């Protein structure tokens, strides 16, 4: 029987699925027993030495020094995200679904809607979610947010412009250099005067001291129209719309009317006793404004030319403009007022008192112009203490918009080609600024004058703007050239024959 007991002991010794009860304990078991016993002894000694306090003490520890207390109260500095890299938890990744999606074959089965819905429902039941919306690598624990005030030093490497390339490419080209520069010696450097104007026949009138010169933009010819005598000098110019008559205001008060085509003075109108700094035409009515704040309506067809007088400004009138439809007249003065009047003398709507008087500007209001496509919208600009361009709806007397120009506004002109306007400025850049309307974003800034710009004038076709500067130069800017593609389309439409019905030829 002894050989059977020996065989049983041998089988039990080589059996691997049961724990070995005989022999010394393994090393890892000894380590775990030692660590458990040491932690138990430590906790027992601590409990014996340190009695447990149920109520926390409110008395601060007096043994601490002020330095140690301040150090303990100082909050810990947040770690910089670039110092310790973020290692996401891989346990949040569903590797079963990821393995299935990476190894599944692309099945292109033509299934009916009912069969596809059934397969989708079965997949959701098996996997617990829609596997089509599960990513192969997706971590539920996101990277921690950086502390307040942290700036990434590598941000400039991958930063990009906010303006798309296709938007920037759609902007038309605007030359930033003047197309032509003309000398204007002895031009009077006075903010309140209006010394240039461009006629519909493409003739530019410029007042230089006591003289008025005419420059033909088609031929380049220059002619002297007049030369005043004594202490008198020219203070304002204005062409009649669609004509060759030029109104000339003087420092002593009389207003002269000249026929430029014949170089002949037609008449002198003694409307004012002080200098006439602004004038504007409305058909056959020439409205003039002088230094004492008076406005006079002159009918150039009549011998008794004064048909209306308005006294609404207390200081010099430096801005004057009739609207394109002749419904409104705007006047700006050195008293920081902008007045709007209604109708012509002799009409039922004529009023000698302003229908609106705006006092929002904080400086002299010289820059005035009416919108060509919204005849009730007026743009006005203030002087050095104001530096603001404002837009008014003269149907209801509301200020519909404004923009800070950051410099003295000397003149404003609306474009005839685009929904834009150009403004002329003084200190500090002496520039022309083109604004998009109604967004009032800057399209371009044209620099070149070394002193403030006094006046602006526009060519008859609306493509060129002329600026007169106190640096005694006249500069022409082709800033409103029409789009060549739109111009070709317009020419094609105009060249098409007009289809007339029977009896209309």
pLDDT in tens, 121-149: 777 776 666 766 666 555 556 667 777 76
Chain-wide mean pLDDT for the chain?
81
pLDDT at 497: 46
pLDDT at 386: 96
pLDDT at 11: 72
pLDDT at 453: 97
Give backbone dihedrals phi and psi of 380, rounded to 5 degrees, phi first.
-135, 150
3-class SS letters over 60-84: CCCCCCHHHHHHHHCCCCCCCCCCC
- Asked if pLDDT for residue 261 goes beyond 60, the answer is yes
pLDDT at 158: 47
Kindly state the DSSP code that residue 139 receives in the 8-state scheme.
-
- Asked if pLDDT for residue 19 goes beyond 50, the answer is yes
pLDDT at 69: 45
Euclidean distance between CA atoms 291 and 219, whole angstroms: 37
pLDDT at 171: 64
CA dihedral 390, 393, 397, 398 (to 10 degrees): -60
Interhelix angle 113-127/95-103, nearest 10 degrees: 140
181-208 in b/e burial notation, b at 16+ Cβ within 10 A? ebebeebbeebbbbbbbbbeeebbbbbb
Model pLDDT for residues 289-336, shown as the tens digit of each residue: 999 999 999 999 999 999 999 999 999 999 999 999 999 999 999 999
- Asked if pLDDT for residue 162 goes beyond 70, the answer is no
Mean pLDDT, residues 163-183 taken together: 73
- Radius of gyration of the chain from its Cα atoms, rounded to whole angstroms: 44
340-377 in b/e burial notation, b at 16+ Cβ within 10 A? bbbebbeeeeeeeebebebebbebbbbbbbbbeeebeb
Higher pLDDT, 240 or 31: 240
- Asked if pLDDT for residue 368 goes beyond 70, the answer is yes
Mean pLDDT, residues 233-239 taken together: 97
Give backbone dihedrals phi and psi of 183, rounded to 5 degrees, phi first.
-80, 140
- Per cent of the chain over pLDDT 70 is 68
- Asked if pLDDT for residue 168 goes beyond 50, the answer is no
Q: Which two tokens stand for residue 416?
A: 């005839």
Model pLDDT for residues 212-233, shown as the tens digit of each residue: 999 999 999 999 999 999 999 9
- Asked if pLDDT for residue 492 goes beyond 90, the answer is no
pLDDT at 203: 97
User: In terms of DSSP bridges, do strands 409-414 and 285-290 run parallel, antiparallel, or are they unpaired?
Assistant: unpaired
pLDDT at 311: 94
Higher pLDDT, 327 or 32: 327
Q: How many CB atoms lie within 10 A of CB 133?
A: 6
Peptide bond into 287 cis (omega under 30): no
Euclidean distance between CA atoms 180 and 174, whole angstroms: 15
Residue 403 and residue 450 in contact, taking contact as beta carbons nearer than 8 Å: no
The residue behind tokens 């302003």 is 354
Lowest mean pLDDT among 149-153, 220-224, 342-346: 149-153
- Asked if pLDDT for residue 187 goes beyond 90, the answer is yes
Beta partners for residue 211, in sequence order = 208, 227
pLDDT at 42: 55
pLDDT at 15: 64
Give backbone dihedrals phi and psi of 157, rounded to 5 degrees, phi first.
-70, -40
Model pLDDT for residues 61-115, shown as the tens digit of each residue: 444 444 444 444 444 554 544 455 556 555 555 666 666 666 665 555 566 777 7
Residue 439 DSSP SS3:
coil
Model pLDDT for residues 429-474, shown as the tens digit of each residue: 999 999 999 999 999 999 999 999 999 999 999 999 999 999 999 9
Euclidean distance between CA atoms 420 and 95, whole angstroms: 61
**Cβ-based neighbours of 51, under 8 Å, separated by 6 or more:** none
- Identify the band that residue 375 occupies on the pLDDT scale cut at 50, 70 and 90: very high
Mean pLDDT, residues 267-280 taken together: 96
Model pLDDT for residues 394-439, shown as the tens digit of each residue: 999 999 999 999 999 999 999 999 999 999 999 889 999 999 999 9
pTM of the model: 0.65
pLDDT at 71: 42
């Amino acid at each position: 029987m002894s050989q059977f007991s020996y065989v049983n002991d041998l089988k039990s010794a080589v059996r691997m699925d049961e724990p070995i009860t005989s022999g010394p304990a393994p090393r890892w078991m000894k380590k775990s027993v030692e660590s458990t016993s040491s932690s138990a002894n430590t906790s027992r000694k601590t409990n014996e030495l340190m009695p447990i306090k149920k109520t926390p003490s409110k008395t601060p520890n007096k043994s601490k020094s002020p330095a140690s207390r301040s150090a303990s109260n100082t909050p810990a500095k947040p770690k910089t995200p670039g110092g310790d890299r973020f290692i996401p938890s891989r346990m949040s990744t569903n590797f079963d679904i990821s393995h299935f999606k990476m190894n599944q074959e692309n099945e292109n089965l033509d299934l009916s809607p009912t069969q596809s819905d059934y397969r989708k429902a079965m997949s959701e039941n098996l996997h617990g979610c829609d596997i089509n919306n599960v990513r192969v690598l997706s971590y539920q624990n996101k990277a921690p947010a950086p502390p307040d005030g942290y700036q990434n030093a590598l941000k400039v490497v991958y930063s990009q412009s906010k303006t798309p390339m296709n938007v920037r490419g759609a902007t038309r080209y605007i030359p930033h250099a003047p197309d032509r520069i003309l000398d204007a010696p002895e031009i009077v450097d006075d903010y309140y005067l209006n010394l240039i104007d461009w006629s519909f026949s493409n003739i530019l009138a410029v007042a230089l001291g006591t003289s008025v010169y005419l420059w033909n933009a088609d031929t380049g010819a220059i002619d002297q129209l007049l030369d005043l005598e004594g202490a008198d000098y020219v203070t304002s110019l204005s062409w009649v719309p669609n004509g060759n008559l030029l109104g000339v205001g003087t420092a002593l008060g009389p207003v002269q009317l000249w026929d430029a085509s014949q170089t002949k003075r037609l008449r002198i109108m003694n409307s004012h006793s002080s200098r006439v700094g602004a004038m504007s035409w409305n058909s056959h009515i020439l409205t003039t404004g002088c230094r004492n704040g008076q406005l006079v309506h002159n009918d150039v067809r009549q011998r008794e030319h004064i048909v209306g007088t308005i006294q609404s400004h207390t200081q010099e009138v430096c801005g004057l403009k009739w609207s394109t439809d002749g419904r409104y007249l705007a006047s700006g003065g050195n008293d920081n007022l902008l007045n709007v009047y209604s109708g012509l003398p002799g009409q039922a709507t004529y009023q000698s008192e302003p229908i609106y008087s705006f006092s929002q500007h904080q400086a002299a209001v010289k820059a005035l112009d009416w919108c060509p496509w919204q005849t009730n919208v007026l743009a006005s600009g203030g002087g050095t203490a104001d530096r603001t361009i404002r837009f008014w709806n003269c149907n209801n007397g509301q200020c519909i918009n404004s923009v800070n120009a950051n410099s003295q506004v000397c003149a404003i002109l609306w474009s005839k080609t685009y929904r834009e306007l150009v403004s002329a400025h003084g200190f500090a850049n002496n520039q022309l600024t083109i604004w998009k309307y109604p967004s009032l974003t800057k399209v371009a800034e044209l620099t070149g004058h070394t002193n403030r710009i006094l006046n602006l004038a526009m060519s008859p076709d609306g493509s060129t703007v002329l600026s007169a500067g106190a640096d005694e130069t006249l500069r022409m800017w082709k800033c409103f050239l029409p789009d060549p593609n739109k111009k070709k389309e317009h020419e094609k439409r105009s060249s098409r024959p007009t289809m007339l019905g029977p009896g209309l030829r």
